[in-house]
């Protein structure tokens, strides 16, 4: 079990690495079709994931039928590269992070990537 002080320290580190990720990959989603594909795939994955991610997906003003099966049906190499990099970011942690923290971080990163 992770104590509260350790969790706070980890969240600060997550924020720094998340900011770096967003800065690096935002331009990869400058193409509207790539951005849409990435978002649909993220919503599809989130809708079947952790409770936090499910709530996040449900809070978006997008009909679930629009992103259902996007992980399997959308084919966009650039969007998939960003997704794989995001998975890599989350898997590269030196310290274990709770599923809730990972879900919150991923949702926040996706939201930031979709801005603008």
- The predicted-structure confidence for 28-63, as pLDDT tens digits, reads as follows 999 999 999 999 999 999 999 999 999 999 999 999
Domain hosting residue 61, numbered range = 4-114
* pLDDT classification of 66: cutoffs 50, 70, 90: very high
Kindly report the pTM of this predicted structure: 0.85
Please state the domain count of the chain. 1
pLDDT of residue 1: 42
Average confidence (pLDDT) over 8-33: 80
Backbone dihedral angles phi then psi of residue 4, each to the nearest 5 degrees: -60, -40
Residue-wise DSSP of the chain: ---HHHHHHHHHHHHHHHHHHHHHHGGGG-SHHHHHHHHHHHHHHHHTS-HHHHHHHHHSSS-HHHHTTHHHH---HHHHHHHHHHHHHHHT-SS---HHHHHHHHHHHHHHHH--
């Amino acid at each position: 079990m992770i104590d509260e002080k350790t969790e706070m320290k980890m969240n600060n580190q997550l924020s720094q690495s998340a900011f770096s990720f967003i800065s690096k990959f935002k331009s990869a989603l400058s193409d509207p079709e790539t951005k849409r594909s990435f978002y649909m795939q993220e919503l599809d994955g989130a809708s079947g994931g952790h409770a936090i991610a499910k709530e996040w997906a449900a809070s978006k003003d997008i009909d679930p039928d629009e992103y259902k099966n996007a992980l399997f049906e959308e084919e966009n190499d650039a969007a998939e590269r960003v997704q794989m990099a995001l998975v890599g970011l989350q898997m590269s942690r030196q310290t274990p992070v709770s599923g809730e923290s990972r879900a919150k971080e991923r949702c926040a990163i996706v939201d930031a990537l979709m801005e603008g």
